Chains A and B, each alone.
Chain A
């Protein structure tokens, strides 16, 4: 260990130690100690012999494109608040705290991205090492105690909103470091992470919206760079069409689940509406549709969503009943509790959600 032949191997060792320190300290709520350590560490690293700060004028085009793409995504992210609402930023916006928060993030970002560039480009032909480096850098960016919790539901949320998007993002940054330079990853990270600290309000997105939008953003940037910035003009663009199709499907799926369209879906967990549809089916319903007698409606009762047929209606209240139930539903349904009207159902497509729910409920008990 003491006789490492190359500077890059020393860098790798430093990175391993740093990642391990992050995991240990954040696992034991020692974030504040790690924050001070992190700033001093990367400050010294940046101005040491390892990395002179230079700017390559040939990279001007990529810098411009990355800047534009990143700003567009930040703008789209912020405007999503007009759909789902805004919430006050949890960060302190006094001048001192702002400067402190920015420095605490900016200095490590600069250091990590330069280290990534150096390590990635000296191991560019070794795929396993590239993956290893990406994972190590990813581990420097996660807060173990915040993400990993005994509560399975919250764990799932954290994995979806933070863990997976971070993993995708670091894969993209490594890809960009390998194929361009360190400016593009730097710009992406600075714009993403610093601007969030500055904004006084943030979109009030739930875990699914936050995580899936982040992952889609990563894939879009990857797609743009791969097929329109990095590829040569005459080189055949393999899989371009496949990418567009699958990216489009994913975006539509996410937008559909977010409720942006007139139609939404719900998995059926009981057989109260047999034989019309059964447990495990996926019901598609239309929001804000007119309701007549014998229509099947989707409504909320306390924490549950129920899908039953309207038997009678009177003065904004509806009497409902499951087709397989012998008696009417006990409580009247008011108009404000109605989510939509059944349109059709897809057999068995609701089972994955049901299995996941049963698995988590079983673990919780």
Chain B
């Protein structure tokens, strides 16, 4: 058969097969949505655990989902410091880079509690994990604090590298 006809036939068979496939999937997938999945974006929190808890303090049981984590630290006396280690992993198929890191302490919270966080990895390639620490410290203040709690909220944003 002539080469040029082969080109036409291969082209038509390809388009036809894709059209049939699209008909097949179009009946099962949401019609108005984008059903295309090429790469998988999945940067998520993998773990949080207390790694340093002085005697008399309680690090509680931190919990986490892919995108949120919660912890409740109870400090006993000035100088006490609880350290949590947070693990973030890139479980998708797209390399990531850090775009935004913001941690905010509650403005009205007690001045006796201080939060510190260590730095995060600038890049997180596929399959990689990174950790950072959240350090909660009971500061040595002159007067006993009126308020005894302070919250910390944070946003960590990774984007495609």
Q: What is A's interface to B at a CB cutoff of 8 Å?
A: 29, 31-32, 87, 90-92, 97, 145-146, 153-154, 156-158, 160-162, 164, 168, 204-208, 210-212, 215-216, 219, 222, 238-239, 242-243, 246, 249-250, 253-254, 257, 265-267, 269, 300, 303-305, 339, 350, 352-354, 356-357, 360
Contacts and interface: CB of A to CB of B under 8 A. Distances in A.
Given A158-B38, A206-B36, A212-B19, 19 more contacts: A29-B125, A32-B123, A90-B160, A146-B39, A156-B21, A160-B22, A162-B38, A168-B14, A207-B37, A212-B15, A215-B18, A243-B4, A243-B8, A246-B12, A250-B15, A267-B23, A353-B24, A353-B27, A357-B24
Contacts of B146: none
Is chain A's binding surface mostly helix, strand, loop or mixed?
A: helix
B159 interface: yes
Given A29-B127, A210-B36, A238-B4, A356 B22 contact: no
Nearest to A175: B7
Contact of B8 (A146, A242, A267, A269): A242
A303 B8 contact: no
20 contacts: A31-B126, A32-B123, A90-B39, A90-B41, A153-B25, A154-B37, A157-B38, A160-B22, A164-B18, A207-B37, A212-B18, A215-B15, A238-B4, A250-B11, A253-B15, A253-B16, A266-B23, A266-B27, A339-B31, A356-B20
Given A29-B127, A239-B5, A353 B23 contact: yes
B160 A207 contact: no
Contacts of B18: 160, 164, 208, 211-212, 215
A211 B25 CA distance: 15
B30 A303 contact: yes
Given A266-B27, A304-B27, A32 B36 contact: no
Nearest to A151: B37
B99 interface: yes
B29 interface: yes
A164 to B, nearest CB: 6
B11 A219 contact: yes
A206 B35 contact: yes
A64 to B, nearest CB: 26
Nearest to B97: A92
Contacts of A239: 2, 4-5, 8
Contacts of A205: 34, 36
B68 to A, nearest CB: 23
Contact of B19 (A97, A222, A254): A254
Given A90-B160, A145-B93, A206-B35, A257 B14 contact: no
A242 B1 CA distance: 15
B161 interface: yes
Contacts of B30: 303
A266 B2 CA distance: 35
